[in-house]
Structures are given as C-alpha cells and as structure tokens.
Amino acid sequence: MRAIGVAILAMAIYMVLKVEVFGSRPGGDATLVYLVVLVPLLLLIGTPAKRADDRSNQFKRNEEFRERTVADVPVQSLDERSRRLATFNGILFLRPFAVDAGFRVRNPRRDGFLATILFFYKMLLPDTTTLDDAFRLHGERHGELLAIGDDDAGTIGATRFESSDAGWRDDFHALAKAASHIIVVPSLQDGIAWEIGEIVADTCLLAKSVFVLTPAGYDDRMGFAARGDVITRLRAAGLRLPGHAEHGEGIVFGPDREVRLRTQLIQPGFLEHRVAGKALRQCLQAATGAAQSPVRRTDAIETP
C-alpha cells in the first residue's frame, strides 16, 4: 500500500507542477522538472517502500498460516499437528529448493490493472519475480499457495510453512491429502523424488497434481536436473509420459497415470520466461475434475 501511495503522490505532484507552478501547457517545464528531478527522487523512495510492502505481506501470510494451524501444538503431538494441517484447502507447491532463488519469471503485476492506470507504480515493480509468486498470483482463485520450507532466503511467493527434518514427511502427507491441488516441479533430489513417489502411489493425490517441467536453459544448472533425466525418473515412477515432453510444459495425469492434459505453461521470452496464466488455470481446472470424470487422453499439446 505504501508503494501505491507513492505512485499516487507522484501523479499529484506532477499535476500541481503542471497547473499551479508552470501553467496548464502540455509538456514544457513541468514535465522536464518532473522527469529529471522528481522521478529519480520518488523512485529512490518508492522502490524500498515496495520491497518493504512485499516482505511485510509475505511475513504476515506465513505467520497467519502458522497461527491458525500449529502455533500452539507441542512438537511431540504428531496426531494433533496432522489434524490441524488437514484444515488446509489450498494449493501445495512442491519443488527443489533451487527454484526459490534460482528461477525467475516475468512479474505478472506489471501486466495488472494498477500498473496499467498508474504508470509510476509500474516503474516501482521489478521486471521479474519468483516462479511460485507468479503461480500464486495467477492461481489465487483456486486458493492459497503453500510451500514447505523456511523463509531464510527472504523470497516473495508462496506462503512458507517451516517443518522439521524429522517431521516434514508427516506434514507433507497431511497437507497433500487436504490440498485442493498440488503443483510439482520435478527433480532428482531425494526429497522431491520421495514426494513424487508418494503422489504417484496415491491415485487421489495424482489426480489433483500438476507437473511442471522447467524451461530450456535450466538443465544441469543451479541445482536443476537435466530434463531427460527427470522424465526418465517420472516414467520409472509409473507415469505414462508422452514420447516427447517439451521444456516448460504443464502436465496433468488421470488416476490411471495416463496424460489428461498437456499445455505450454512456462513460455520462453526474449528477456525472461513468462508463466501463462490461462494455461495454469486450465491445468488446475483439469486437475480438479481428474478424479471426478472419465479420463481423457490428450497427446496434442494444448495452446495456452
């Protein structure tokens, strides 16, 4: 909200300069002073304010989830902890931790309504954001996006729920069963590989899951596994993947482990990748109905 306030203040200052100080002529001295002096000054003030807003909102979401679930539950009370977590009804986001800081996509806020009507506000927004932040914004109608993991990295995106080394598997089971959807970025790392095995073994979990393959450029880099190795691992887990799975695809499977929907979910761009909001919503909708209707085999890639 502070960043929006700075943007509105910037517009107000410009109007005062234009009408009261330099007269109502279009352009002229008011525009020059505004662009050369005030815009850099307001950016200097507004950019930290926007970052502070984002961090404050992230911390608030993290704390609100903890308070309404396990804040007052003793660590040793595993049954009560699982019962509290079972009240979750949003989207569970599973990923290798390299995704948190190493995967950037275009910031959807730059295409939003506020950015359209308040140009100065758009200038305060970073060009890119985290993958889970883009998923959270595009999928918010389907519920809260939650990721297991601490908030030490200070990333903006999914609500973070901190678990323990000893209890994260129990927490995963409770959250996965309760979640309306599960979004999975596959990896060869032990933790995510185990989670995928649990999902594939449970047809109810599999039917509400969306698997997201990383786009080109992330193979064997910054902790990401090569796409071919990931696909081999998914097939070994029992999923009937198509002959050629593309970079950046979103894939939904039916309870029979056959492909129900394929779509280009992460689109390549000249400067940055972009999450296709419509494609994400198609995947979540397909996963919603996967366990409720006959399975449809889709070999052709859907267009976002």
Residue 304: predicted pLDDT: 40
- In this structure, are 135 and 84 located in the same domain? yes
Q: Decide if 302 is inside a domain.
A: no
- Spatial contact of 100 and 130, defined as CB atoms under 8 Å apart: yes
Between 224 and 113, whose confidence is greater?
113
Domain stop point among 26, 44, 68:
68
Report field, pTM of the whole predicted structure over 0.95: no
For the chain, give the percent of residues with pLDDT over 70.
70
Q: pLDDT per residue over 72-125, tens digit each? A: 877 667 788 888 899 999 999 999 888 887 788 999 988 887 777 766 667 778
Cα distance between residue 270 and residue 160, in whole Å: 31
Q: What is the mean pLDDT of residues 291-298?
A: 44
Residue 297 falls inside a structural domain:
no
pLDDT score, position 57: 86
Query: Which one is predicted more confidently, 7 or 295?
Result: 7
Higher pLDDT, 293 or 215: 215
Same domain, 181 and 154: yes
What confidence score (pLDDT) does residue 129 get? 92
Letter for the amino acid at 242?
A: P
More reliable by pLDDT, 154 or 228: 228
Torsion of CA 51, 53, 56, 58, to 10 degrees: -80
> Which residue, 68, 92, 127, sits at the end of a domain?
68
Q: What is the tens place of the pLDDT at every residue in 13-54? A: 555 545 444 455 544 454 545 454 555 556 556 566 667 777
For the chain, the average pLDDT equals 78
- Output the pLDDT for position 9: 56
First CA to last CA distance, the chain = 32
Residue 303 lies in a domain: no
* Predicted confidence (pLDDT) per residue in 137-172, tens digit: 999 999 999 999 877 656 789 999 988 888 899 999
Query: Are residues 211 and 144 part of one domain?
Result: yes
**Predicted pLDDT at 188:** 85
Task: Write out the residue range of the structural domain in which residue 94 sits.
Answer: 78-289
Number of domains comprising the chain: 2
- What is residue 274's DSSP assignment? E
